[in-house]
Amino acid sequence: MATKHRVGGRGMGRNGGERKALYRSLLNGLVTHDRIRTTEAKAKEIQPMVEKLITLGRTDTPTNRRTALSVLASATTVTRLFEEVGPRFAARAGGYTRIFKIGTRPGDGATVCQIEMVD
């Protein structure tokens, strides 16, 4: 019988592949549009991921580009990350995103948030 000890993260009611695809889609949307509207759980889950991607985007090396491409899987998004988003936060020492609570979703009452890049 499997135990629940030391198992981190949120399951999101999905299996591993679906969850990875969801996170990839949210990260692509956030890097492309600078802000997205999603549920609180999803926003809190992708916030550390996007912070690490922006930190990668601050220094443009082939290794960093490959690492970002393995996470985002979109060449145009990676280009935007390294040419626009990364240099914009070059002088900032972390804390690139913030989460605002907007309200609740009418259908199921889930807390809806907006995650956006600072500045």
pLDDT tens digits for range 57-114: 999 999 999 999 999 999 999 999 999 999 999 999 999 999 999 999 999 999 999 9
Q: What are all long-range contacts of 95-102, with beta carbons under 8 Å and residues at least 24 apart?
A: 95/51, 96/50, 96/51, 96/54, 97/30, 97/47, 97/50, 97/51, 97/54, 99/40, 99/43, 99/44, 99/47, 101/40, 102/37
Domain boundaries, the chain: 16-117
Is residue 54 within 8 Å of residue 86, measured between CB atoms? yes
Q: Which fold has domain 16-117?
A: 50s Ribosomal Protein L17; Chain: A, (3.90.1030)
pLDDT at position 1, please?
Answer: 63
Lowest-pLDDT choice from 8-22, 26-40, 50-64, 92-106: 8-22
Give the confidence band of 4 by pLDDT, cuts at 50, 70, 90: confident
